[in-house]
Amino acid sequence: MSVRRFVPRCLFLVFVLVPVLWAQSSQWQNLAQIKPGTKVQVVENSLKSTSGKFVGFSETDLTLKVEYKEVVILKDQVHRVSISGKNRKRNTLIGLAVGAGTGAAMGAAAHQAVREAWVVPGTMLGHACLGAGIGALVPAAKTVYRAEVPKQAGPKGQSARERR
């Protein structure tokens, strides 16, 4: 496989398939997977953010413990619920490994054409650094619930996307 075909395929995987694979369900019942006492962040429709420890939820609301008081937020006001993750180091190491592997493969392909000793380690190092950077930028928080945005009908029943 040539480098000219390999690079676009890698970019396709990173920018198209990975977000699709990481897409998460947005069901309110997903809140059942959060253990009481887990640190969560709730973003309301007004974009007000509240962080605290998860107490519980019902069909109509969720309850957090913020400092020493319990805060109840209605389901209709919740835009997103995320749990804090400690995965940034793991994401960085995965990115480092993937980048190094990609760099080694690309360096080996380029080495056949260039025949310089530095090509393989150089591309491996460069891609390892790039992969580690991308891994560090991947969000460490996991979104457990995201409210669905209602489609707004415009003139003649057109959606906002169709009007553009």
What's the pLDDT tens digit per position in 72-122?
999 999 999 998 776 778 888 898 899 989 988 888 888 788 878 888 888
CB atoms within 10 A of CB 87: 15
Write down the mean pLDDT value for the chain. Answer: 81
Percent of the chain at pLDDT above 70? 74
The answer, yes or no, to whether residue 13 has pLDDT greater than 50, is: yes
Question: What is the average per-residue pLDDT within 22-44?
Answer: 83
What's the pLDDT tens digit per position in 81-93?
998 776 778 888 8
Q: Which two tokens stand for residue 14?
A: 């990173």
CA–CA dist 85, 40 (Å, integer) = 10
- Candidate from 37-51, 83-97, 118-132, 140-154 with smallest mean pLDDT: 140-154
Question: What is the average per-residue pLDDT within 119-142?
Answer: 85
Q: What pLDDT shows up at residue 88?
A: 79
Question: What is the average per-residue pLDDT within 51-73?
Answer: 94
Q: Which of 70, 65, 75, 85 is nearest to 145 (CA)?
A: 75
Give 46: exposed, middle or buried? Use CB within 10 Å, 0-12, 13-18, 19+.
exposed
CB atoms within 10 A of CB 55: 17
> 135-157 burial by CB neighbour count: b if 16+ within 10 A, else e?
beebebbebbbbbeeeeeeeeee
Q: What pLDDT shows up at residue 154?
A: 54
Q: Which two tokens stand for residue 115?
A: 């025949």
The answer, yes or no, to whether residue 160 has pLDDT greater than 50, is: no
Q: What pLDDT shows up at residue 163?
A: 44
Residue 56 pLDDT level (bands cut at 50, 70, 90): very high
Q: What pLDDT shows up at residue 164?
A: 46
Q: What pLDDT shows up at residue 24?
A: 44
